[in-house]
Chain A
């Protein structure tokens, strides 16, 4: 349970691994390096209970794909084949949407208390299978087990608990409005938080009486399929939740489907815009949670120990494969050299490697494609004249890895300051005044999240008013909670997920 204690995102790279500068410095290993040997503490991979083959999940049971196509899900830490998964083609999407359509009237008309109870039960089942699911996401996606276990899974269960409780209270959520579901929701989710993104999408949709066809990411389909089984076990009626794995083409078939009333997409801004164009004039409801280029602003009066941890957490959490990652550091000029020094020292203590090892801070990059994208952007940073810093670290021979990376001497026009890298790469810029910090922070088409570190309360509120982002973390970063709305401004998308506001994305006339 996550109740009564902070969601331990900040626990990433935290207490146990704090830099102790009193430790002997290893000569020749960079600035102030302190290195320890760690006893390997490896989670049992078999806990994931991965099957050889996974079909589609349609109408309350596993189905063979009419497409007759199957694809392989790879373990990014080893590049080994993990499981064979059915690929949904047009006919399969048709079937899944038809199943969701057929289930919609009954689900929408069902007793809200019953809907709540089923979702509560699903939340409990997720808690009970939490360890299995954490290992599953770690193996399928490459994220450190410590994050899957301490962040993803507690939040997944909490999301279902939170929205379960709304199911029979919708008339209290929006004053003056009568809550009414939209119908069938087609949902397309990314690979960075496979099960958590499924929970963000599915929980509010079901609580509000919609039925769902979910398209998990091609590289991480397993936990969504397992979620469907658990939903079935919890007693959700057949057809209420359907899962159709596949590549981008499957997602396109789903969002463009005539039988879908509502599209919810999390992914890149580029694809988000394609979806927007595709749905133009279709009269469908749409919410988009897209890319970001989060600015992490550190003032000279900030608590520097905490700010260092916050900045590190902000960019290296989940290998930086986070839409709200604090990928641009804006540090006040007066403390820039010292702060960069602290970051470089801290980088040396990060452990990159086996995601199943509980000591690991930075796991595997999700796919070869993503690794290539990171590599390409980092190369552009070097070519455009920014200075790269990487700690000495040994990367495993197989698998997809990228070391934690800092760039200094970054200018606003560099690609690494403008484009979303979606990897463990931090671009460092400086500023002099609060006005300049705001100006620089807002100088991107994105507007998802930003961070502010200062001890001056009035400045926090002044900054928070002016930062164009849907989330502002002040003296903290990367905190998530089912009660807290999340989503972007500008080209980071529209609509919110989480909180009371997250319900609006699935009800008529209140968004």
Chain B
């Protein structure tokens, strides 16, 4: 038995800025492509999900009241954290695929975050506008965050897909509960660790590892969730999730890939129109 024995990380959930294990005590295994690495990741339960929604709701007022400038800095800071740990991410992602693909995915993730970071203090100008009404009224329409967004991240690309869902949601001032890809839970956990060191206020982003098939229906039916990104939901699940979402008329959307998309941000905003008369 030569050499040093490494210390292995426990892969936990990310709720309210903390890293708890699942209250259920359950874990599920990740096995690398070659079978050499086996990791136990926390398998989130319905109760974990409800705690996460609560944390997201509590974090919402503070997050949406921050200036776009400040939110942008925080998103940029997340990108810095990922860049700093790029090799770790690449190594983790490569356990399930090729190294070159993993390297590209990490680079794309960082660049995508930078893109959304820059939007934070601009999207209101592009998505909102003054309205030239036929009368002596000041009339303006501006986008506001829809609230708490549930994100079902695609199975792959695990990191880029997760960030492609969370970037637009965060940038527009929402808070989120994400169900990460069960195929590569390590990337989601490492991303959560980046969030925790990037001045993201606790609860703004909550990340659950586990099985989307188990968690998504609870998320879709939760009355304190305002919108759903169903990009990672299988097609046969989408129907029942949309049906469950009808109870409080959640806004739902689905995107084919994590491409840069201003309108994916717009999808998680509500246009508010304010009128006021003009007069002496």
Q: Mark A residues whose CB is within 8 Å of B.
A: 2-7, 158, 174-177, 269, 272-273, 276-277, 279-282, 288, 290, 445, 460, 464, 469-476, 479, 481, 483-487, 489-491, 493-494, 496, 499-501, 504, 509-511
- Contact between A281 and B133 (Cβ–Cβ < 8 Å)? no
Given contacts A470-B272, A485-B271, contact A273 B246 (CB under 8 A): yes
Contact of A481 among B135, B266, B271, B272 (CB under 8 A): B135
Write the nearest CB–CB distance from A4 to chain B, whole angstroms: 7
A-contact bits for B131-146, CB 8 A (1 contact / 0 none): 1111111010100001
The majority secondary structure among interface residues of chain B is mixed
Given contacts A472-B273, A484-B275, contact A490 B249 (CB under 8 A): yes
**B213 within 8 Å of A by Cβ?**
no
The majority secondary structure among interface residues of chain A is loop
- Contact between B273 and A471 (Cβ–Cβ < 8 Å)? yes
**B58 within 8 Å of A by Cβ?**
no
- Interface hub of B137, B139, B238, B267 (most chain A Cβ within 10 A): B137
CB contacts under 8 Å to A, within B79-137, are 126, 129, 131-137
List 9 other contacts, CB 8 Å, given A4-B134, A445-B248, A511-B263.
A3-B134, A273-B249, A470-B273, A472-B273, A474-B274, A474-B275, A479-B275, A483-B131, A499-B273
Collect the chain B residues with CB atoms within 8 Å of residue A177's CB: 262-263
Collect the chain B residues with CB atoms within 8 Å of residue A509's CB: 263
Collect the chain A residues with CB atoms within 8 Å of residue B262's CB: 175-177
- 30 A/B residue pairs, CB under 8 Å, sorted by A: A5-B134, A6-B137, A174-B263, A276-B243, A276-B245, A276-B246, A277-B243, A280-B243, A445-B248, A460-B276, A470-B270, A470-B272, A472-B273, A472-B275, A476-B276, A479-B133, A479-B135, A483-B139, A484-B131, A484-B133, A484-B139, A484-B141, A484-B275, A485-B273, A486-B273, A489-B146, A489-B270, A489-B272, A491-B248, A501-B271
Given contacts A6-B134, A510-B266, contact A471 B272 (CB under 8 A): yes
A290 CA to B248 CA, complexed, in Å = 12
Given contacts A4-B134, A7-B134, contact A484 B246 (CB under 8 A): no
Collect the chain B residues with CB atoms within 8 Å of residue A473's CB: 275
- Contact between B267 and A511 (Cβ–Cβ < 8 Å)? yes
**A-B pairs with the 10 shortest C-beta distances?**
A281-B239, A6-B135, A280-B242, A481-B133, A280-B243, A276-B246, A474-B276, A483-B131, A484-B131, A472-B274
**B25 within 8 Å of A by Cβ?**
no
A469 CA to B271 CA, complexed, in Å = 9
A-contact bits for B252-280, CB 8 A (1 contact / 0 none): 00000000001100110011111111000
**B251 within 8 Å of A by Cβ?**
yes
A469 CA to B273 CA, complexed, in Å = 9
**B18 within 8 Å of A by Cβ?**
no
Looking across the interface, which residue of chain B has its beta carbon closest to that of A269?
B249
Collect the chain A residues with CB atoms within 8 Å of residue B249's CB: 269, 272-273, 276, 288, 290, 490-491, 493-494
Write the nearest CB–CB distance from B181 to chain A, whole angstroms: 22
Write the nearest CB–CB distance from B62 to chain A, whole angstroms: 14
A430 CA to B101 CA, complexed, in Å = 62
Write the nearest CB–CB distance from B210 to chain A, whole angstroms: 23
Collect the chain B residues with CB atoms within 8 Å of residue A485's CB: 131, 141, 271, 273
A500 CA to B238 CA, complexed, in Å = 30
Collect the chain B residues with CB atoms within 8 Å of residue A476's CB: 137, 275-277
- Contact between B136 and A6 (Cβ–Cβ < 8 Å)? yes
A504 CA to B263 CA, complexed, in Å = 10
Collect the chain A residues with CB atoms within 8 Å of residue B134's CB: 2-7, 158, 481, 483
Write the nearest CB–CB distance from A470 to chain B, whole angstroms: 6
- Interface hub of B139, B262, B271 (most chain A Cβ within 10 A): B271
Collect the chain A residues with CB atoms within 8 Å of residue B129's CB: 499-500
Looking across the interface, which residue of chain B has its beta carbon closest to that of A502?
B271
Write the nearest CB–CB distance from A466 to chain B, whole angstroms: 9
**B10 within 8 Å of A by Cβ?**
no
**B247 within 8 Å of A by Cβ?**
yes
- Contact between A281 and B238 (Cβ–Cβ < 8 Å)? yes
**B240 within 8 Å of A by Cβ?**
yes
Collect the chain B residues with CB atoms within 8 Å of residue A489's CB: 146, 270, 272
A177 CA to B264 CA, complexed, in Å = 12
Given contacts A175-B126, A280-B243, A494-B251, contact A471 B263 (CB under 8 A): no
Looking across the interface, which residue of chain B has its beta carbon closest to that of A476?
B277
- Contact between A490 and B248 (Cβ–Cβ < 8 Å)? yes
Looking across the interface, which residue of chain B has its beta carbon closest to that of A306?
B277
Write the nearest CB–CB distance from B227 to chain A, whole angstroms: 9
